[in-house]
Amino acid sequence: MPDLSGRVAIVTGGARGIGAATARRFRKDGARVVVWDLVAADGVRAVDVTNAEAVAEAARETADREGGIDILINNAGIVDDDFAESLTLDSWDNVVKVNLTGTFIPCRALIPHFRARKRGRIINTSSVSAFGNRGQANYSASKAGVIGLTRTLALELARDGITVNCVAPGIIQTDMVARVPPKVLEKFAARIPLGRFGAPEDIAALHAFLASDDAAFITGQTIVCDGGLTLGG
């Protein structure tokens, strides 16, 4: 089990789903966890990850209160699906703003802090949809952008001891997936070699590994966690 004792982690979109599972796992592994989300709940700070000023203020407050920040998990994201010919520009803009810009803004806010400490872990969230998925032009493009952002930040920050990696989940049993039509889910289920959808805890375990000292020599990578869905068998 990864040891995160004494580490301070920020988890965006951490009020439910994968984010909430990650917060629970990190606490189990010894970390102190600060959750940012728009959803009001106990232990959750309301932070809009697309608002640069709000993120900067929350980062300063967290660093002051906790004595430093070690880990950033960028998990906040939305979907608004439609086929490209029907996709509105508002839908395009909103999804890209939350999923891509909402990943960049927390990264940018914490980079000076990590550089000053000569260490840090940034773990971003992409998706297997980044490789293309019907009806998700906006979502796929935003998640492909997260992969490019991850690789670029890894190059820029390596000299300061900061690793930047990306997780690309497959179909995970969350509220977001629950809104997908059952017939569509059945088709996907038949394509997963391991025979099941993922659980939020599967992604949380990967987050914990990438945040730990065991992953100290891994950076700039996109790790697919999809039960074999993208193998194409």
Residue 17 pLDDT > 90: yes
Task: Give me the chain's average pLDDT, please.
Answer: 95
Q: What is the pLDDT of residues 31-90, one digit of tens each?
A: 999 999 998 778 899 999 999 999 999 999 999 999 999 999 999 999 999 999 999 999
CB atoms within 10 A of CB 132: 11
**Cα–Cα distance for residue pair 221/83, rounded to 1 Å:** 30
pLDDT at 177: 79
Determine the Cα–Cα distance for residues 72 and 51; give it in Å rounded to an integer: 17
Active site residue ranges: 139
Question: pLDDT tens digits, residue range 160-201?
Answer: 999 999 999 999 998 877 777 888 888 888 899 999 999 999
Q: What is the pLDDT of residues 128-140, one digit of tens each?
A: 999 999 999 999 9
Q: What's the average model confidence in pLDDT over 214-227? A: 98
Q: How far is CA 3 from CA 16, 151, 202, 232, in A?
A: 23, 26, 17, 35
Residues of the chain above pLDDT 70, percent: 100
pLDDT at 175 (0 to 100):
82
Q: Which of these, 49, 65, 77, 58, lies nearest to 8 by C-alpha position?
A: 65
H or E segment at 19?
Answer: helix 17-28
Confidence at residue 185, expressed as pLDDT on a 0 to 100 scale: 84
Structure tokens at 195: 């025979």
Q: Which domains does the chain have, with CATH numbers?
A: 8-224 (3.40.50.720)
| Secondary structure of residue 185 in the 3-state scheme | helix
- The C-alpha torsion from 67 through 10 and 36 to 105, rounded to 10°, is 100
Asked if 94 contacts 142 with a C-beta cutoff of 8 angstroms, the reply is: no
Which band of pLDDT confidence, cut at 50, 70 and 90, is reported for residue 145?
Answer: very high
Q: How confident is the model at residue 233 (pLDDT cuts 50, 70, 90)?
A: low
CA distance 79 to 63: 31
**Cross-sheet strand order for the sheet of 8-12:** 44-46, 32-37, 8-12, 71-74, 120-125, 162-169, 222-225
